[in-house]
Structure 1
Amino acid sequence: MMNHQPCVSADSTAERELAARHQALQHPYTFSGNALLERQQRTESNARSYPRRIPLALKRAHGVYVEDTEGRVFIDCLAGAGTLALGHNHRVVIDAIRAVLDAGLPLHTLDLTTPVKDRFVQDLFEVLPADFARGAKIQFCGPTGSDAVEAALKLVKVATGRGTMLAFHGAYHGMTQGALTLMGSLGPKKPLHGSLQGVQFLPYPYDYRCPFGLGGEAGLQAGLRYIDTVMTDPEGGVPAAAGMVFEAVQGEGGVIPAPDAWVRGVRALTARAGVPLIVDEVQTGFGRTGAMFAFEHAGITPDVVVLSKALGGSLPLSVVVYRGELDQWQPGAHAGTFRGNQLAMAAGSATITHIRAEQLAEHAARAGQRFMGQLRQLQRDYPAIGDVRGRGLMIGVEIIDPEQALNNQGQPMHDGPLAAAIQAECLRRGLIVELGGRNGSVVRMLPPLVITEAQLDHVFEIFSTALAAAHYGRTAAVLAAHAA
């Protein structure tokens, strides 16, 4: 049976031209002063993050390629942190946006309906599992995933009359104050002086660093038993929960896929306890993990699904979809001026349709499996690669320091500085990747779903070269220090 080849080109002429210029690279890029970057540094807030590690001023993009203002071309394996499912300026997205503009449709409608919105809701419900979509409700939120998380919190608290939420170590659900309560990382919460309360954190099934020191099936079962105890022990000190929220693949937490058996176990526990289960699919949704939604791998039906990023076809949009029985809140309980983004709805419909027609979820599964196989072969030559993991085209490489003593749990030490050096070497060679996980030690890749296997091979070549450069650069520095 022949594999279906996805339609990958946003603009074949422009993309081929950018690809040729990228392939023609002879020497690593060097980063000189740039007036735009200098002004950005002077005028943007200290909270800005990406430009610190990826100092680029971009002017053009097609498919998997971006070009900066100095004419340098990069393969984008960050892709708006998973927003650009079809890559940059894909023709179906551009055509959908132009159709809205040419028709003179309103661009902003609050939550008033339009033919574009009606079509979008139908398209979205058609790709959700039938048993979940049947009788489901949708709430349009502000433009970000964080706002949809806020709406989900309100929804379950109103519906259950409870206040405590259950979340997981390593979780990331956004940066607004309510979403921050669910975040596993302590760093962004410290400046708020402990004002974020009402969340009980639970161990996530991080097999490479099992929180119980067990790993495998034993670690999985220990985690489920612990969660069961937290939810049911009358002397455990944890009130009955309004809801539980988790990512089926943790993204910012280090690309950690939860085992399907664990996801099924959590669904059974929450159902038995009458606790609504919220699945955050902001980064994993729409084919990213090799299924339309990451929770589908386990065959479960959640109570609430949070969606954003790829939902709007590269434009700002977020929604919460939930079981109709939870629809207990009152009119105006959650609103947002920009929840009627018609261009995003048109682009979202076009993206959903294209993902289905071109079988991009299946392509992501095949391509991701092949790419992770290449990375695991590379792992044999570089002990600094502690773990290679992911699902579909959501891939993480955890970097460790094998020369350091093991930590108190008997696990290798994180090596965030080496991961940062690898990211910098990738960028110098025309590849944009991101960091995440504990101590920033996981190199993360979220390429557009339209990336071809040939393009992924090129990504692997660049990553291999960058890894070698960072590794040997550190070795040389250590030898020089010893010689001195």
Structure 2
Amino acid sequence: MRIFEEMESEVRGYVRSFPTVFDVAQGSELFDESGTRYIDFFAGAGVLNYGHNHPMITEALIEYLKHNGIVHGLDKATIAKRAFLQKFRDTILAPRNLQYKVQFTGPTGTNAVETALKLARMVKQRSNIIAFTNGYHGLTMGALAATGNYFYKDESYGSRANTAFMPFDGFLGQDVDTIDYLRKFLSDGSSGIDLPAAIIVETVQGEGGVNVASIEWLKGLQDVCREFDILLIIDDIQVGNGRTGTFFSFERAGIHPDMVTLSKSIGGGLPMALLLMRPELDQWQPGEHTGTFRGNNLAFVAATEALSFWDNDDLANAVEYKSDILKTELEKIAADFPEFEPKVRGLGMIYALELPSGVANEVSAEAFERGLVIETAGADDQVLKFLPSLLIDENLLHEGIGIIRDSLKVLSERRNKMMTGQ
């Protein structure tokens, strides 16, 4: 590990949580250079919904490269891009009766968010954006302004200009309807909240602690946007691509956002981000918003293969089945360790086990020693975030959950010894 400490910036993060040198990976398993095996409940922070090195995707990439296919193409027309657009239209958009234009942004999710915010402001000729408490949308300037966690912000380098925050579903308690709260601010000319060009929201807040918006809340949010002529942007970067059981996380609510940002797993494990927009919002002039790496043809190839998982309902059904396993087993763990006051919440294949401040990090570290990679989330890192591949083998899923149980048992015994002075 010495070269990483010597050469790499102090900003490095995950290498501190998982201090080993990884070598190879397949499906939901990682192996370090000494051959030690780890179960992956992290999935590249949501990039690897289809697991590591899926043979179907790997073979398509090898064949494309052997053919000397275009790798870098800016926004020129290529065989790979055409195949992706056709597959995305026919497999994802058409069956859901969604009419969206596709814009390829830079390679990361924050690029897609920046593009959405810029376009919304241009179309509506308003500068304000509304985001939500505990929201996370990226760390470049516009996206950072819409991100709630102040760990990532500082007034000396990040401006909050033209961004306002409203309470997410449940933030003020279950008895407070935060849609009514939002509507009051928008309808009162003296509230201090300027009418926004857009409202941006995650239907399930991943980095914010796996906070799940209810169907009623999401429908109410769309109603507010229509009522006040505000564009609704769904950030589906982490919880889209099937993470909640349907390809888009908003499908369960039956809403139709004006824009959708996608990244992470849409590239089949390779960097790609895109913005979906209603056709009438596509008011760009040619070349008005560009990026050198907006056309990642290897990602187009990988993505086209990955979208084949959505040719039928098999994957959605598998996610529903494994979601029930996650929920059931985590609720059992919560019942067995009441001293930690655990809380379980989630949807599809993203679940949270909320623990007291500091405990989640301890469990993550203990689990890593036992062969499981799992990250924490939430404003105080108080949540263990379960984010395994959608394709994870059922036995591996149970094994990984068992490691969490064992890790909590170790911490519980350690705590009891401290309390009894042993």
Normalising by structure 2, what TM-score? 0.96
**Cα shift at 1:50:** 0.6
How many angstroms apart in 2 are the aligned matches of 1:302 and 1:449? 25
Equivalent residues of 2:135, 2:147 under 8 A apart:
yes
**For residue 304 of structure 1, what is the amino acid of its counterpart?**
M
Name which of structure 1's ranges 332-341 and 184-193 shifts more when overlaid on structure 2.
184-193
Deviation at 1:125, TM superposition (A): 2.5
- Give the deviation of 1:195 after TM superposition: 2.5
Map of 1:304 onto structure 2:
259
Task: Name the counterpart of 1:432.
Answer: 373
> What amino acid sits opposite 2:382 in the alignment?
S
Give the 3-state SS of the residue equivalent to 1:466 in structure 2.
helix
2:275 maps to 320
Aligned to 1:227: 182
Task: Find the aligned partners of 1:132 and 1:296 in 2 and give their Cα distance.
Answer: 9
Aligned with 1:394 (options 350, 365, 374): 350
Of residues 142, 160, 167 in structure 2, which corresponds to 1:203?
Answer: 167
Amino acid at match of 1:204: F
Structure 2 unaligned regions, length at least 5: none
TM-aligned CA deviation for residue 193 of structure 1: 5.0
Aligned to 1:359: 314
**2:32 maps to which residue?**
68
Amino acid at match of 1:442: V
Q: 2:287 aligns with which of 332, 340, 343?
A: 332
Deviation of 1:135 after TM superposition, in Å, equals 4.3
The answer to whether 1:265 aligns with 2:220 is yes
The answer for the alignment partner of 1:277 in structure 2 is: 232
Q: Which AA in structure 2 matches 1:137? A: K
In 1: Cα distance, 2:161 partner to 2:92 partner:
33
> Aligned-pair distance for 1:286?
1.4
**CA deviation after TM superposition for structure 1 residue 269, in Å:** 0.7
What count of residue pairs does the alignment treat as equivalent? 421
3-state secondary structure, aligned to 2:400: helix
Structure 2 CA distance for partners of 1:452 and 1:203, relative to 1, 3 Å: same
Aligned equivalent of 2:106: 142
d(CA) in 1 for partners of 2:101 and 2:130?
A: 23
Q: Which amino acid aligns with 2:290?
A: A
* Mapping of residues 69-468 of structure 1, within 5 Å: 69-130=33-94, 135-190=99-154, 192-193=156-157, 195-206=159-170, 210-211=171-172, 213=173, 215=174, 218-219=175-176, 222-357=177-312, 359-383=314-338, 384-400=340-356, 415=357, 417-468=358-409
One-letter amino acid of the counterpart of residue 277, structure 2: Y
- Which consecutive unaligned segments of at least 5 residues does structure 1 have? 1-36, 401-414
Instruction: Single out whichever of 347-356 and 426-435 deviates more from structure 2.
Output: 347-356
How does the TM-score come out when normalised to structure 1? 0.84
Q: Deviations along 1:290-311, whole A, 9 cap, x unmatched?
A: 1111100101000000000000
Counterpart of 1:418, as a letter, is V
CA RMSD of aligned residues (A): 1.6
SS of residue in 2 equivalent to 1:192: coil
- Deviation of 1:205 after TM superposition, in Å, equals 1.3
SS in 2 for 1:279: strand
Query: How far apart, CA to CA, are the structure 1 residues paired with 2:41 and 2:192?
Result: 44
The percent identity for this pair of structures is 35
Give secondary structure in 2 for the equivalent of 1:188. coil
User: Which deviations, in whole Å up to 9, do the C-alpha atoms of 1:427-466 show, x marking residues without a partner?
Assistant: 0110000000121000001111111222211112111001
Aligned mates of 1:204, 1:134 — CA distance in 2 = 26
CA positional deviation for 1:385: 4.1
Q: Deviations over 1:359-379 (max 9, x none)?
A: 222211221122111110221
Task: Quote how far apart the aligned CAs of 1:389 are.
Answer: 0.9
